[in-house]
């Protein structure tokens, strides 16, 4: 039986830059750095974003960008603060997709390795409720 999400791993060409992004955008807390003592495929670091374990490993960047992404929940009141954090790091923001009213707002941005991240203000319950209302109208 699946108990939940264990961790998410991102491959990055620059561990220091990815550390900066995780710290400054997500307020991530670094809990491990392998340094020269490697137990996995390459040098790696572990972070906590809230209670979520994020692993980053040294390696080649993704060759292309796509819409595959991971979304983190943020409060509506924090939307502009997160947009400023992303802009301050010089990260490329992707225009948001069209949305129906009430399903929340999103910030989409790419890191330097072509990973797409989303910061979203809505919840699954809100989205399903608004989709159902849209289908009735």
> Out of 44, 76, 101, 118, which one is annotated catalytic?
44
Give yes or no: 44 in active site. Answer: yes
Token pair recorded at residue 71: 């979304």
Whether the CB-CB separation of 119 and 106 falls below 8 Å is answered with: yes
User: Residue 30, exposed/middle/buried by CB under 10 A (0-12, 13-18, 19+)?
Assistant: middle
**Cα separation of 124 and 129, whole Å?**
9
What are the CA-CA distances from residue 28 to residues 7, 22, 46, 47, 50 (Å)? 14, 5, 10, 6, 8
What tokens appear for 123 in the block? 């919840």
What separation in angstroms does the CA of 104 have from each of 39, 63, 85, 132? 41, 31, 19, 15
Catalytic residue list: 44
């Amino acid at each position: 039986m699946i108990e939940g999400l264990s961790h998410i791993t991102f491959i990055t060409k620059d561990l220091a830059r990815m550390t900066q992004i995780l710290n400054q955008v997500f307020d991530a807390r670094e809990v491990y750095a392998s340094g020269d003592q490697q137990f996995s495929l390459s040098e790696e670091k572990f972070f906590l974003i809230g209670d979520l374990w994020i692993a980053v490993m040294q390696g080649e960047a993704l060759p292309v960008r796509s819409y595959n992404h991971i979304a983190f929940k943020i409060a509506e009141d924090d939307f502009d603060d997160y947009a400023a954090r992303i802009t301050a790091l010089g990260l490329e923001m992707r225009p948001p997709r069209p949305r129906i009213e009430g399903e929340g707002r999103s910030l989409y941005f790419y890191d330097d390795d072509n990973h797409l991240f989303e910061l979203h203000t809505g919840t699954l319950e809100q989205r399903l409720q608004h989709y159902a209302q849209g289908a009735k109208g």
